[in-house]
Structure 1
Amino acid sequence: MSRIGKKPVVVPSGVTANVDGQTVKVKGAKGELAFIVPDDVVVALEDGAIKVQPRDDSKRARALWGMSRSQLANIIEGVSKGFEKKLEINGVGYKAAVAGKVLKLSLGYSHDIDFEIPQGITIATPKPTEIVVGGIDKQKVGQTASEIRKLRGPEPYKGKGVKYVDEFIFRKEGKKK
């Protein structure tokens, strides 16, 4: 029995949800998103809340039940508030700047890296060593932040590289003479 799946997803004021068969369309202040619920799950809009139930008692239906409910909750939160991931750059001479639809990164390589900003994602650099990735789709925001981090992941000796703000880097001790 899914504990997450049992809870209905409350649709807040200012957000409109429309259930059409297996497709759920949600429109809010920040934008519009849609999610196609898998066939193993039944979705219904009742009393200003979206309820999700498994179609049968199969293992697949029970697995998709909680996932579908979480996806719908993320979509509703995205169109009402939006999502944000913060990245931090550590290292001498390492910096970032946004120029149009391109994020320019200097990460200690012999060349600067031009990262194309995907559609539906906003990237801001309040400081040269800070990157804020935002958007309404939680998956896209996380994927974009992960791709930026992958360009120069933090190393364990000095902590140089791109890391999440809340991430802890385990440090290693260097060579001893």
Structure 2
Amino acid sequence: MSRVGKKPVTVPSGVTATIDGQLVKMKGSKGELSFLVPELVSVEIKDGAVSVQPRDQSKQARAFWGLSRAQVANLVEGVSKGFEKRLEINGVGYRAAMAGKSLKLSLGYSHDIDYAIPDGITIATPKPTEIVVTGIDRQKVGQVAAEIREYRGPEPYKGKGVKYAGEFIFRKEGKKK
């Protein structure tokens, strides 16, 4: 039994939820998102909340039950509050800056990296060593943050590179004489 799927997703005021067959649409102050629920799961709105139930007790239907409920909850949170990922840059000479519609990264390579910002995502650099990725789609925000981190992930000896804010980097001891 899914523990996540049992709890209905409450729709806050200012957010409108519509269900068209298996397509769940949410519209709020930040924008509009939709999710196509798998056929093994039924979804309905009652008492200002979206509830998700499996159509049968197969293993796949129960797996999609929790997934679908989590996706619907992400739609509600995305259109009402939005999502944010913070990245920190550590290292001498490592920095980030906005250049029009792209992010310019100096990460110790012989060239600067220009990262084109996808639609629906906004990137801000409050400090040269901090990047803030925001948007309404949780998957897109996480993907963009992961792509930026991938250019120079944190290394375990000095901790140089791009890391998520609050991420713990397991440090290794260097070579001994």
| Both structures adopt the same fold (TM-score exceeding 0.5) | yes
TM-score, normalised to structure 1, is 0.99
Provide the residue aligned with 2:136 in structure 1.
136
Q: Could you tell me how far 1:100 is from its partner in structure 2?
A: 1.6
1:42-75 per-position Cα deviation (integer Å, ceiling 9, x unaligned)? 0001111001000111111000000000000001
Q: Residue 79 of structure 1: CA displacement?
A: 0.4
Match of 1:153 in 2: 153
Report the equivalent of 2:31: 31
Query: Which structure 2 residue ranges, 5 or more long, are not aligned?
Result: none
The alignment yields a C-alpha RMSD, in angstroms, of 0.5
Question: Pairwise mapping of residues 104-119 of structure 1 onto structure 2 (< 5 A)?
Answer: 104-119=104-119
CA distances 1:5-56 after superposition (whole Å, capped 9, x unpaired):
0110000000000011100110000000000000000000111100100011
Partner of 2:97, secondary structure, is strand
In the TM superposition, what whole-angstrom CA distance separates every residue of 1:88-130 from its partner, at most 9, and x where no partner exists? Answer: 0000000000112100000000000000101100000000000
1:50 and 1:140 mapped to 2: Cα distance?
23
Distance 2:136 2:100 in 1: 20
Moved over 3 A (4+): none
Q: Give the SS at the match of 1:13.
A: coil
Does the alignment pair 1:77 with 2:77? Answer: yes
Provide the secondary structure at the position in 2 that maps to 1:110: coil
Whole-Å separation in 2 of the counterparts to 1:61 and 1:100? 46
Residue 43 of structure 2 corresponds to 43
Aligned residues: 177
Deviation at 1:78, TM superposition (A): 0.4
Identity of aligned residues (%): 77
Give the structure 2 partner of residue 19 of structure 1.
19
SS of the counterpart of 1:166?
coil
The unaligned stretches of length 5 or more in structure 1 are none
Aligned pairs (5 A) from 1:118-129: 118-129=118-129
